[in-house]
Amino acid sequence: MIGTLSGKSQFFRPGGGGKRHKYRFSRKKEASTLARARWSLKLIVLLAAVGAAVGLGNVWRFPYYAGKYGGGAFLVPYVIMLLVLGVPLLIMEFAIGQRMQLGAIGSLQKIRPKFSGIGLGAVLCGFVVVSYYAVIIAWCLLYSIYSIDLKWGADTKEFFLESVLDLSSNPGEIGQISVPILYSLVAVWVLIYFSVWKGVRSVGKVVMVTMPLPVLLLVVLAIRALFLPGGMSGVIYYLRPNFEALKDFELCSAASSQIFFTLSLAFGIMIAYASFRDRSSEIAKTAIVTAIINSAISIVAGLAVFATLGYMATESGVDVAQLAGKDSISISFQVFPKAFSGIPFAPLFAFGFFIMLITLGVDSAFSLVEAASTVIHDKYPHVRTEDLALHVCIVGLLSGIIFTTSAGMYYLDIVNHFITFYGLVIFGLLEVLAVGWWYGAENLRTYINEVSDIKIGKWWTWLIKFVIPVVLVVLLVTSFWKDCHEPYEGYAQWAIWCFGWGMLIVVFAVSFLFAHFSKADD
């Protein structure tokens, strides 16, 4: 969706400028007008947060993980991680950004100067993510064009892997850059850049249209697929809970990575976002509602995907599990085009659907550009935000080019595993320790309860100080053990080092050096 954070800067900082201003109604207004203005302001706060969270993480990544890890088996750790990690961390990020009125680096630096490195690391992880995330939006853009004549034909899998990606057989065969994907990528970055300053005025209205429409379409697709032969079997595979799965640490790691990703946690995004809000804005309810809407959308997207997958499995005479697990990273691009076949006005619906996915994705990508510009702006208030955003976009575009090659999907898979698990979990852990122990979770809880409609109990402090750090450390250690013993997905070691560990090491080294040279008054 278009226009969130910059939008907020206008909504919440009427005076503009480098420093955060408390939102005040400058002129006297009638009571009713005032009440309405406040109400719409609250709604916009919520919609903007939802806009940053909901994106391709819900329609592409969630079904991918559900497919890879066994449908209902994935849903159980997902819901648990949402409650244990997602909601408490979202409350924490909202609170710390709003309290400090600074982006991730500044907020953490205020707690302790050296903690600035944690904020930088989070933003860098987000930067790596946005470089491949934009490529996925570019695929959506291509699909919106292919929709016009339903170019994908009957075999949507072959179409995606061969005709669109021209996928090579292994990461070593880099092949060539796909020109259509590259052009789309450029178009996507232009869109992202323009939404930074164009979307500003339209924030509330745009979000209100671009959010419900794709959700409505997803519901329609899900219901329709349910009535196709085999649709139900897909849904059963997806929804049948499997509590045994909780014993498998890999599933729990995957679920935690998905929660961080989908709620944009530990990217510095939600902290930057909250920093634009008035210090007395509601926190707990906003966070809870954001998390609920976000996960509800993921679950509906999963329904549409798995019902259609059930139909596809029946059509080709194989098992749903077999179809779901294989090439699951591309599952949405195999399944959604198929879901449109046979419905009246298919090209029109498909076109609309992919355009809406683009708006969902651009909104999330844009929130990162905004988070990155915010941290730089905090440090160098004299630099114009537009210039910062332009530079961030250009670097993002250039770093995404590697993912447009024939082996791009392999690289994307590796980066997606390493950065969105190790990167986010480690920076998430450091963040939670900094806030929980140095700043003081109880301290923050008092503040949250002062401003929130929903009061949070002592359980939150316990989660932040003890439970979440322990859970994250256990997941880190077990995943590290596994990844050291067997190469992720059997990829060649050089690829894993280059796109996995290597990239992590660079992010950590830069953050560490930054922290090392940080001073209190920077």
Strand, helix or coil at 405? strand
Please measure the distance between the N-terminal and C-terminal CA atoms of the chain and give it in whole angstroms. Answer: 34
Using CB under 6 A, which residues numbered 345 to 384 contact ligand TRP? 364-365, 368
DSSP state of 435: I
Our CB check for ligand TRP shows the closer of 152 and 267 to be: 267
In this structure, the dihedral spanned by the alpha carbons of residues 180, 186, 192 and 194, taken in order and rounded to 10 degrees, is -120
Which one of 2, 45, 49, 53 is in contact with ligand TRP (CB under 6 A)? 53
Name the residue among 99, 23, 88, 129 with its Cα closest to residue 367.
Answer: 129
Q: C-beta of 125: minimal distance to ligand TRP in Å?
A: 8
Q: Which residue's CB atom is positioned nearest to ligand TRP?
A: 57
Our CB check for ligand TRP shows the closer of 362 and 432 to be: 362
Per the CB < 8 A criterion, the answer to whether 233 and 323 are in contact is: no
Which one of 4, 6, 9, 58 is in contact with ligand TRP (CB under 6 A)? 58
Q: C-beta of 53: minimal distance to ligand TRP in Å?
A: 5
| Tokens describing residue 411 | 């690289």
3-state SS, 284-302, equals HHHHHHHHHHHHHHHHHHH
Q: C-beta of 55: minimal distance to ligand TRP in Å?
A: 2
| Tokens describing residue 209 | 């249209």
Using CB under 6 A, which residues numbered 467 to 506 contact ligand TRP? none
Q: C-beta of 118: minimal distance to ligand TRP in Å?
A: 16
Number of residues that bind ligand TRP (CB under 6 A): 17
| d(C-alpha 335, C-alpha 108), whole Å | 42
Asked if residue 56 binds ligand TRP (CB under 6 A), the reply is yes
Name the residue among 399, 374, 401 with its Cα closest to residue 385.
Answer: 374
| Tokens describing residue 289 | 């509602």
Using CB under 6 A, which residues numbered 235 to 264 contact ligand TRP? 261-262, 264
Asked if residue 303 binds ligand TRP (CB under 6 A), the reply is no
Which one of 238, 267, 333, 411 is in contact with ligand TRP (CB under 6 A)? 267
DSSP state of 486: S
| d(C-alpha 329, C-alpha 222), whole Å | 20
Our CB check for ligand TRP shows the closer of 235 and 263 to be: 263
Span interacting with ligand TRP, options 127-135, 192-200, 203-211, 301-309, rule CB under 6 A: 127-135
Our CB check for ligand TRP shows the closer of 367 and 385 to be: 367
Name the residue among 28, 79, 8, 26 with its Cα closest to residue 291.
Answer: 79
Our CB check for ligand TRP shows the closer of 131 and 178 to be: 131
Asked if residue 130 binds ligand TRP (CB under 6 A), the reply is yes
Our CB check for ligand TRP shows the closer of 133 and 422 to be: 133
| d(C-alpha 39, C-alpha 422), whole Å | 40
Q: C-beta of 420: minimal distance to ligand TRP in Å?
A: 8
Which residue type occupies 132?
Y
Our CB check for ligand TRP shows the closer of 61 and 377 to be: 61
Our CB check for ligand TRP shows the closer of 281 and 364 to be: 364
Which one of 133, 189, 238, 514 is in contact with ligand TRP (CB under 6 A)? 133
Asked if residue 57 binds ligand TRP (CB under 6 A), the reply is yes
Asked if residue 129 binds ligand TRP (CB under 6 A), the reply is yes
Span interacting with ligand TRP, options 13-21, 56-64, 317-325, 434-442, rule CB under 6 A: 56-64
Torsional sign, CA 471, 477, 482, 487: positive
Our CB check for ligand TRP shows the closer of 268 and 310 to be: 268
- CB neighbour list of residue 457: distance below 8 Å, 6 or more residues apart: none
Convert 484-494 to b/e letters by CB count within 10 Å (16 or more is b).
eeeebeebeee
Phi and psi angles of residue 177, each rounded to the nearest 5 degrees, phi first: -70, 135
Our CB check for ligand TRP shows the closer of 365 and 495 to be: 365
| d(C-alpha 60, C-alpha 62), whole Å | 6
Rg of the chain in Å (alpha carbons): 22
Asked if residue 423 binds ligand TRP (CB under 6 A), the reply is no
Span interacting with ligand TRP, options 30-38, 49-57, 160-168, 332-340, rule CB under 6 A: 49-57
Asked if residue 126 binds ligand TRP (CB under 6 A), the reply is yes
Span interacting with ligand TRP, options 128-136, 171-179, 240-248, 378-386, rule CB under 6 A: 128-136
Convert 30-55 to b/e letters by CB count within 10 Å (16 or more is b).
eeeeeeeeeeebeebbbbbbbbbbbb
Using CB under 6 A, which residues numbered 268 to 287 contact ligand TRP? 269
| d(C-alpha 398, C-alpha 394), whole Å | 6
Strand partners, 211: none
Asked if residue 403 binds ligand TRP (CB under 6 A), the reply is no
CA atoms within 13 A on the CB side of 274: 31
| d(C-alpha 519, C-alpha 522), whole Å | 5
Asked if residue 428 binds ligand TRP (CB under 6 A), the reply is no
Our CB check for ligand TRP shows the closer of 251 and 369 to be: 369
Asked if residue 147 binds ligand TRP (CB under 6 A), the reply is no
Q: C-beta of 369: minimal distance to ligand TRP in Å?
A: 8
Q: C-beta of 8: minimal distance to ligand TRP in Å?
A: 17
For every residue of 314-349, DSSP letters joined together read HHHT--HHHHHHTTGGGHHHHHHHHHHTTSTTHHHH
Asked if residue 336 binds ligand TRP (CB under 6 A), the reply is no
**Residues forming the site for ligand TRP (CB under 6 A):** 53, 55-58, 126, 129-130, 133, 261-262, 264, 267, 269, 364-365, 368
